[in-house]
Amino acid sequence: MDQLYHPPAMVAEVLEYLQVRRGGVYLDSTVGMGGHAEAILEASAPDGVLLGVDMDASALQAAGKRLERFGPRVRLVHGRFSQLETLVAQLGVGQVDGVLADLGPSRPQLLSPARGFSFDSEARLDARYDRQQELTAWHVVNRFSRADLVRVLSLTGKPHAARRIANAIVARRATGAIDTPRELAQLIRNTLGRAKTGGSADVATEWFMAIRMFVNRELEEATEGIEAAAKILSPRGRLVVLSWDGTTHATVRRKMRELEKGCSCPPELPCVCGRTPVLKLLTPRGRQATAEERRINPATRTCRLFAAEKVPPP
């Protein structure tokens, strides 16, 4: 598969849950290489509109090329999922009929050695989606205190191993900076005393993922983005989120449930918060890709689709 190709996941399910129709206005908040956006534009022809957002300027460029044939039906803007309210206001759009967020990195980001995501890369540690952002993986690994490193690495849910790796990083820094993903991966393998997990993945994988999630504020983005999406959806508009790892699945589910519940007061007391349900969750457990898609594209084995509908105001 071409390094620059990112196969969009669960396309049929995304279109089904978004209820894409002609003339609708849709917002793809992680437009990436434009695969889902293209499918939405085709399904909403001849006059549906697609607003595409991404933190990565080079992804927007690639999406722009791919979607050129749709002309004025497409508008692309640099920004974040968490900033949807401001972004739609900038674009002069009121409410939208559907919001999609396909969280995490794209294949080209992961595989391009220059982006410093993959652990065989000899480029400088980086892992930013937005290359205008100051914080990089290099800074986390080389400048964070031992305690802060433990906090970041504990995003794996393995605090004991996180402490061992943080200690090894701090000890190694005494002899010079850890500059490349390859050096960091080797240090992690040496510290854990093995190169592969039981499932034969590289043991460095989950630790790189924790650093990437921290650098890009991925869990905060998921929470704030869902909150923002719920505000810009028209009544009965749909929100679809694709997430790719257990920690993000739990974060997305928790936020959607919170917005479904509305009131956050103790159940035995009268409500003083005044919050009412904003979303209705359509996929309580999250949906998986079909067995056929998982076979063709093994990356989708971990993918879950969460969908919700905007509850009309009382």
Ligand X SMILES: C[S@@+](CC[C@H](N)C(=O)[O-])C[C@H]1O[C@@H](n2cnc3c(N)ncnc32)[C@H](O)[C@@H]1O
52 binds ligand X (CB under 6 A): no
Shortest Cβ 9–ligand X spacing (Å): 8
Shortest Cβ 266–ligand X spacing (Å): 33
Which region among 102-110, 232-240, 265-273, 305-313 touches ligand X (by CB under 6 A)?
A: 102-110
Kindly determine how many residues on this chain lie close enough to bind ligand X according to the rule CB under 6 A.
Answer: 24
List phi, psi (to 5°) of 270.
-65, 150
**What 3-state class would DSSP assign to 265?**
coil
| Nearest alpha carbon to residue 82 among 53, 104, 117, 110 | 53
For the chain, how big is the Rg over CA atoms in Å? 20
Is 161 or 209 the residue whose CB approaches ligand X more closely? 209
Is 14 or 203 the residue whose CB approaches ligand X more closely? 14
56 binds ligand X (CB under 6 A): yes
Q: Which amino acid is at 125?
A: L
36 binds ligand X (CB under 6 A): yes
Shortest Cβ 37–ligand X spacing (Å): 7
30 binds ligand X (CB under 6 A): yes
127 binds ligand X (CB under 6 A): no
Binding mask 204-243 for ligand X (x = CB under 6 A): -----------------x---x------------------
8 A C-beta contact, residue 48 and residue 20: yes
Q: How far is CA 108 from the centre of its chain?
A: 15
Report which residue's Cβ sits closest to ligand X. 32
55 binds ligand X (CB under 6 A): yes
Shortest Cβ 85–ligand X spacing (Å): 13
| Nearest alpha carbon to residue 255 among 234, 289, 232, 228 | 228
Q: Which amino acid is at 200?
A: S
33 binds ligand X (CB under 6 A): yes
Q: How far, in Å, CA of 138 to CA of 144, rounded? A: 10
Shortest Cβ 39–ligand X spacing (Å): 8
- Examine residue 46 and say whether the peptide bond preceding it is cis (omega within 30 degrees of 0): yes
**What 3-state class would DSSP assign to 72?**
helix
| Nearest alpha carbon to residue 256 among 310, 298, 184 | 310
List phi, psi (to 5°) of 55.
-75, -20
Residues near ligand X, by CB under 6 A: 6, 8, 29-30, 32-36, 53-56, 59, 80-81, 102-106, 129, 221, 225
